[in-house]
Amino acid sequence: MWIYLNDGFVSKEEAHISVFDHGFLYGDGLFETFRAYSGKIFRLSQHIARLSRFADRLSIPLLSPSAIEPLLYETLARNLLVNAMLRVTLTRGEGGFDPDFCKRPTFIITARAPVLNRYKKGASGAIVTVRRHDPAGFHPTLKTISFLNNILAKQDANRKGADEGIFLNAKGYLAEGSVSNLFWVKGGKLYTPVLNVGLLDGVTRAVVLELAKGKKLPAYQGYYRPDALLGADEAFLTNSGIELMPLTKVDGKNIGTGRPGPMTRLLHQAYQATVKGELGLI
């Protein structure tokens, strides 16, 4: 495995960072995940733009988009991957607690083959006890490496025998999954929590909303209690890796028929067609 680290490519065995790196000591950093299909990266500019916005917000210097793009493709080539997940990790770098003493950020690119998904069966979810971060403090829209909130949610889901933990915010409204955005369908209408609830503005989430608009499917973003999800006709989760994953069971209860629903299948087919169209794979 070849990894890009700061100034060049190194083997996995040679990839080391300082024990004084702010990312290691304090979780002070960001990451962005990309999906490559047949050697081409989907929605590359949107992912890099989001990483750039977050880096600016945290005042961590970042390479220009024109510099990041060829490094991503070289990472694919060096690892002999065409269908892959790529991750850019950016930390504030080595220094003491005061961020001003961190003079050089740490920049890393890794790649791996995507995990096979359970589209036919779907995934199970559990509403977890840990609550999503309050946007007034540590805003969930920042895709930081401070991922403990998500890890605790995943642990809770594992204990409950579920694949994905589903967050509520501090006021008890549905937010998102531990590594995914959340959608459901009721009466032919699509629903998803609004960003202000406290959730990541996912690139795949945005594509789904674009597709729903193009197909004239009513789509609503709002504040919803768990009963809205539990009483849905169908539901699904989204992120760059899983695309649209049917969510067929929550808290041990079937969502609708307990099988992937027709709107989920329709939107997933449209998503895959969009990937092929935008990347010139048709």
The pTM of the full predicted model, rounded to 2 decimals, is 0.95
Which 8-state DSSP code applies to residue 129? S
- Shared domain for 100 and 235, answered yes or no, is no
Q: What is the DSSP string of 173-233?
A: -EEEESSSEEEEEETTEEEEE-GGGT----HHHHHHHHHHHHTT--EEEE---HHHHHT-S
- Shared domain for 105 and 199, answered yes or no, is no
Residue 2 predicted with pLDDT over 70 = yes
pLDDT digits (tens, 9 = 90+) for 18-65: 999 999 999 999 999 999 999 999 999 999 999 999 999 999 999 999
Percent of the chain at pLDDT > 90 equals 91
Domain edge (last residue) among 50, 83, 112: 112
Q: Residue 252 and residue 263: Cα distance in Å, rounded?
A: 22
Domain span at residue 220? 123-279
> Residues 201-224: what's their mean pLDDT?
97
Please count the structural domains in the chain: 2
| Pick from 21-30, 125-134, 150-159, 219-228: least confident | 125-134
- Shared domain for 235 and 264, answered yes or no, is yes
Half-sphere exposure in the Cβ direction for 7 (13 Å, CA):
2
The whole-number pLDDT of residue 139 equals 60
The structure tokens listed for 87 are 């991750």
Domain edge (last residue) among 112, 144, 170: 112
The whole-number pLDDT of residue 142 equals 77
> Residues 253-271: what's their mean pLDDT?
96
Q: Residue 49 and residue 39: Cα distance in Å, rounded?
A: 20
Flag whether 117 is in a domain. Answer: no
pLDDT digits (tens, 9 = 90+) for 84-127: 999 999 999 999 899 999 999 999 999 999 886 667 789 999 99
220-246 burial, b at 16+ Cβ within 10 Å, e below that, comes to: eeeebeeebbeebbbbbbbbbbbbbbb
